Chains A and B, each alone.
Chain A
Amino acid sequence: MIIDEITNGIVLDHISAGMCMEIYRILHLERLECSVAIIKNVSSRKMGKKDIIKVADMFDLDLDVLGYIDPNITVNIIKDGKLFEKRKLALPDEVRNVIACKNPRCITSTEQELPQIFRLTDRENRIYRCVYCESRAKDK
């Protein structure tokens, strides 16, 4: 399978196998006009299998959201056909409108225009809690 090298754009590498479509959806890549390649189940020495997303243009990438989904993803910025920058991800302190609170007693269950805000309360165990009701975000 041949996918063109990109000249200017972003490559998201080391995505856990099977996660690329969720990342595509959460980053709203469907809104982009440029070429987007989604490559599933690529052989990887480190991971066995991995997914890769290549975007043939620069766009406003929300690193916080990506860090929440999987802090092990590598973000490669490509300029003029060369690797310009490798960005490291970290767990964000807060994520907005990425996770929805599942607690039926939470105010967000009835007032749906409210932003869904989750804060990191335990970095070691990657636990996020709803700022309104403190319910724990369900594992992805």
Chain B
Amino acid sequence: MRSLIDILELSTEEINELISIAVDIIDNPGAYSEKCRGKKLATLFFEPSTRTRLSFEAAMYELGGNVIGFSEASGSSVAKGESVSDTVRAVSCYADIIVMRHPKEGAPLVASMKSISPVINAGDGGHNHPTQTLTDLLTISREKGRLSNMTVGFCGDLKFGRTVHSLISAMSRYDGIKFVLISPDELQIPEYMKQNVLDKIGLEYIETKDIGAVMPTLDILYMTRVQRERFFNEADYVRLKDSYILTPDKLKNAKKDMCVMHPLPRVNEISVAVDDDPRACYFKQVSYGKYIRMALILKLLEVV
């Protein structure tokens, strides 16, 4: 039995296999509609989420399985003061597989140590979000036809943006990847990411505040939201929230086949006018998210 807590627990071969399964599901959905008949997925969401939770629920239903769970901590025994360890130990007696989102970093790891069922980390604070990364990798693979030899720009909140950290860690293992990190000084990528990933492997990357100057070099532009819930201080949030807004005008200098991605939800960092641009991939990303989660559930439940 395995869990998925950090994307780096998966080898590139395993990631490629998950992508292959997801692509097969897209092509032959009927072949998978009964694969999880009689299995239960528990969604333990200690922090609000619409997209990720619904994506997992839709994934399990499309595999013929059932879903139990809660969508906020106040609706669970946590409100009575129960620990993550105890909650998970109990839930793993009912569910075949557990999906957990928690505001505290490391909570899903604690869960995986105590659970008798596989645990999937659906986001732990600003730390990791491996299934978003799998979604992003499937999106890049489908839209660009490869996962190597490209320049990937990340823009916005690179400090607290867990999707950014996970995707950088995952993509750094492919050949010929360059990163362009675009953010205000206060939201730069954390020191541990530089030290443990970028500098450790000797990857090529630049840090800049000027999105316009680097736009023509990018094959992927990964936009992020400045997240209010990650700030201890409201004034800092207000000052930084509008640092970068992507508009059709800013895209004029971009490559014709560049891919604009966003983990969603967006607030205003991508103008709605960009949605009709063929380079906008963020709604396709949502749909890929369900398929890669289906592949992951199948793999962890060992039914493929």
Contact = CB atoms under 8 A, between A and B. Distances in A.
Which of A110, A121, A132 is the most central at the interface, judged by chain B CB atoms within 10 Å of its CB?
A: A132
Nearest to A134: B192
The number of chain A residues touching the other chain, given as a range, is 20 to 34
Contact of A132 (B83, B85, B103, B106): B106
Interface string A103-140: 10111111101100000011000010111111110000
A103 B105 CA distance: 9
B289 interface: no
Given A113-B83, A134-B127, A107 B105 contact: yes
A106 B104 contact: yes
A103 B127 CA distance: 12
Contacts of A134: 105, 127, 192, 196
A108 B103 CA distance: 12
B84 A107 contact: yes
B195 A105 contact: no
Nearest to A108: B106
B4 to A, nearest CB: 16
Contacts of A135: 192
A132 B192 contact: no
A105 B126 contact: yes
B186 to A, nearest CB: 17
B167 interface: no
Interface string B114-155: 000000000011110000000000000000000000000000
A133 B124 CA distance: 9
A113 to B, nearest CB: 7
A134 B84 CA distance: 19
Interface in A8-52: none
Given A105-B126, A107-B84, A132-B105, A114 B110 contact: yes
Nearest to A103: B105
Contacts of A113: 83
Among B84, B103, B106, B125, chain A packs the most CB atoms within 10 A around the CB of B106
B109 interface: yes
Interface string B191-226: 110011000000000000000000000000000000
Nearest to A127: B195
Contacts of A132: 105-107, 109-110
B102 interface: yes
Interface in B83-111: 83-85, 102-107, 109-110
Contacts of A130: 106
B192 A106 contact: no
Contacts of A110: 104
Nearest to A125: B195
Contacts of B85: 111, 114
B83 A133 contact: no
Given A107-B106, A107-B107, A111-B110, A133 B127 contact: yes
Contact of A109 (B84, B104, B195): B104
9 contacts: A103-B105, A105-B127, A109-B104, A111-B84, A111-B85, A127-B195, A131-B106, A133-B125, A134-B127
Interface of A: 103, 105-111, 113-114, 121-122, 127, 129-136
| A-B interface, 3 closest residue pairs, ranked by CB to CB distance from nearest | A132-B106, A133-B105, A107-B104
